[in-house]
């Protein structure tokens, strides 16, 4: 396949990639996105983009995966809420989810007739892997009157046991507006604490009971790091994700989903930004807001970084059984109800 691609086509593709990736300089592999680097991957992005047409496939890419996937072959890029909507609306025969397994499961729940594939089956998530359906059933037995809210970073069987799903973009709004006072929130303990604090600020009286998961990326950021950065960079804006600790959230200038974090940076003027999230988001901002200055601080998600162009190509060309998402139909239907409820209760924007 690769040998059949004409040299001028490869050069045009390398130019396209270079225009997109030129400003990305936070690559954890130490890669510099110059013409040579873009030319080296151009045959592969061309091959993947051709395979997409042949197979009637779309690629959904979370903002944390490598920039050459997002900008080289991604059809939809964004946060978990945006990508779950994209999965629901996708009319393609094949969905390749460049993200992590729970996201691909969500796509399968919402597009059951599509073949949903994941580039690397090992792309777990410390939150999703912290509790299973059985664990939720045990908690429900302890709190039978609670409404069960699951963060989208959870497995299909956890969603099947839950009343409503939320993402980092709608969690405050949805929980605030649920009729129940007692909420059982799984699996993110820190996000649950942030919800508790935010609802208190809004004067909303709810009891939030949480399970004990945390994100291994976001629970690393500390108040001391923020204080040191503020001392060194006057005018700095600290932008964090609700998976961070409540202490970090309390001293941040903005807290929101990765989509909301991007919007905040693009629409505010500050000399420097400290992004307390996975480094991939800084890469996206360097592409889409190259005039902004980011100081160090972001961290890598080892699961998201298991994605690569080669694995995307292989999953698309001839997926191995372990790359294909399959779900028990009863679990899928119950999980779909929980996610559909989220779409009904989400704020309009
Ligand atoms: P969002 O992109 O929905 O904010 O989620 C962040 C995350 O950690 C996904 O795993
Ligand atoms: Fe899970 Fe955290 Fe990685 Fe997101 S960044 S996939 S929450 S481990």
Taking a C-beta distance cutoff of 8 angstroms, is the pair 38, 21 a contact? yes
| Same domain, residue pair 25 and 112 | yes
Is 65 inside a domain boundary?
Answer: yes
Task: Give the predicted TM-score (pTM) of the model.
Answer: 0.95
Give the 3-state secondary structure of residue 184. Answer: strand
What is the torsional sign of CA 208, 211, 212, 216? negative
The closest alpha carbon to 216, from 332, 96, 126, belongs to 126
Confidence of residue 3 (pLDDT cuts 50, 70, 90): low
Confidence of residue 7 (pLDDT cuts 50, 70, 90): very high
The closest alpha carbon to 239, from 217, 264, 218, belongs to 264
Is 180 inside a domain boundary?
Answer: yes
Closest ligand 2 atom to 301 CA: 3
| Same domain, residue pair 80 and 112 | yes
Closest ligand 2 atom to 102 CA: 6
Reply yes or no on whether the pLDDT at 128 is more than 60. Answer: yes
Helix axes 329-345, 101-110, angle to 10 degrees: 90
Is 86 inside a domain boundary?
Answer: yes
Is 333 inside a domain boundary?
Answer: no
- Tokens found for residue 12: 């045009």
**Segments forming the whole domain that contains residue 233:** 218-288
The number of domains in the chain is 3
> Looking at 213, 230, 247, which one is the last position of a domain?
213
Question: Measured at the alpha carbon of residue 86, what is the angle toward residues 298 and 29, in degrees to the nearest 5?
Answer: 30
| Same domain, residue pair 30 and 120 | yes
- Exposure letters 51-62 (e unless 16+ CB within 10 A, then b): bbeeeebbbbbb
Closest ligand 2 atom to 243 CA: 7
Residue with tokens 């130490």, as numbered in its chain:
30
Taking a C-beta distance cutoff of 8 angstroms, is the pair 102, 155 a contact? yes
Is 20 inside a domain boundary?
Answer: yes
Contacts of 59 (CB under 8 A, 6+ apart): 48, 52, 69, 73, 74, 75, 76, 95, 96, 98, 312, 316
> Looking at 152, 185, 213, which one is the last position of a domain?
213
CA of 5 to the centre of ligand 1 (A): 37
| Same domain, residue pair 206 and 239 | no
Which CATH number goes with the domain that contains 224?
Answer: 3.40.50.10800
Reply yes or no on whether the pLDDT at 222 is more than 60. Answer: yes
| Same domain, residue pair 173 and 205 | yes
**What pLDDT digit, counting tens, does each position of 280-328 carry?**
999 999 999 999 999 987 799 999 999 999 999 999 999 999 999 999 9
Report the distance separating Cα 334 and Cα 28, nearest Å: 39
Closest ligand 1 atom to 242 CA: 4
> Looking at 184, 213, 242, which one is the last position of a domain?
213
Torsion from C-alpha of 321, 322, 323, 327, nearest 10 degrees: 90
- Residue from 60, 62, 169 whose mutation best tests the ligand 1 pocket (most atoms within 8 A of CB): 62
Proximal ligand: closest to the CA of 100: 2
- Residue from 168, 298, 339 whose mutation best tests the ligand 1 pocket (most atoms within 8 A of CB): 168
Question: Measured at the alpha carbon of residue 106, what is the angle toward residues 190 and 338, in degrees to the nearest 5?
Answer: 75
CA of 170 to the centre of ligand 1 (A): 12
Torsion from C-alpha of 61, 64, 68, 74, nearest 10 degrees: 10
Reply yes or no on whether the pLDDT at 1 is more than 70. Answer: no
Taking a C-beta distance cutoff of 8 angstroms, is the pair 46, 40 a contact? no
| Same domain, residue pair 60 and 39 | yes
**What pLDDT digit, counting tens, does each position of 32-67 carry?**
999 999 999 999 999 999 999 999 999 999 999 999
> Three-class SS string for 64-90?
CCCHHHHHHCCCEEECHHHHHHHHHHC
């Amino acid at each position: 396949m690769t040998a059949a691609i004409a040299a001028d086509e490869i050069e045009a593709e390398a130019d396209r990639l270079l225009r997109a990736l030129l400003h990305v300089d936070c690559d954890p592999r130490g890669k510099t996105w110059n013409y040579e680097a873009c030319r080296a991957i151009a045959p592969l992005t061309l091959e993947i983009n051709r395979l997409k047409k042949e197979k009637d496939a779309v690629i959904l890419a979370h903002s944390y995966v490598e920039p050459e996937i997002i900008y080289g072959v991604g059809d939809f890029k964004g946060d978990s809420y945006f990508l779950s909507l994209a999965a629901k609306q996708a009319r393609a025969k094949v969905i390749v989810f460049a993200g992590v397994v729970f996201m691909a499961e969500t796509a399968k729940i919402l597009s059951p007739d599509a073949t949903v594939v994941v580039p690397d089956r090992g792309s777990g998530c410390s939150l999703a892997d912290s509790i299973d359906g059985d664990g939720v059933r045990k908690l429900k037995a302890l709190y039978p009157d609670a409404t069960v809210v699951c963060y989208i970073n959870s497995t299909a069987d956890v969603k099947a046991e839950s009343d409503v799903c939320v993402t980092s973009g709608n969690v405050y709004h949805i929980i605030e507006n649920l009729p129940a006072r007692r909420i059982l929130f799984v699996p993110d303990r820190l996000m649950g604490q942030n919800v508790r604090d935010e609802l208190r600020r809004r004067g909303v009286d709810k009891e939030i009971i949480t399970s004990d998961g945390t994100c291994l990326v976001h629970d690393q950021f500390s108040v001391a790091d923020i204080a040191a950065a503020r001392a060194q960079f006057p005018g700095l804006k600290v932008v964090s994700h609700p998976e961070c600790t409540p202490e970090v959230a309390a001293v941040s200038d903005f807290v929101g989903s990765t989509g909301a974090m991007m919007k905040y940076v693009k629409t505010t003027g500050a000399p420097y930004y400290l992004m307390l999230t996975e480094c991939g988001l800084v890469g996206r901002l360097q592409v889409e807001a190259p005039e902004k200055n980011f100081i160090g601080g972001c961290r890598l998600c080892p699961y998201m970084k298991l994605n690569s162009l080669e694995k995307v190509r292989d999953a698309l060309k001839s997926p191995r059984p372990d790359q294909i998402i399959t779900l028990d139909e009863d679990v899928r239907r119950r999980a779909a109800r929980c996610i559909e409820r989220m779409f009904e209760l989400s704020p309009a924007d």
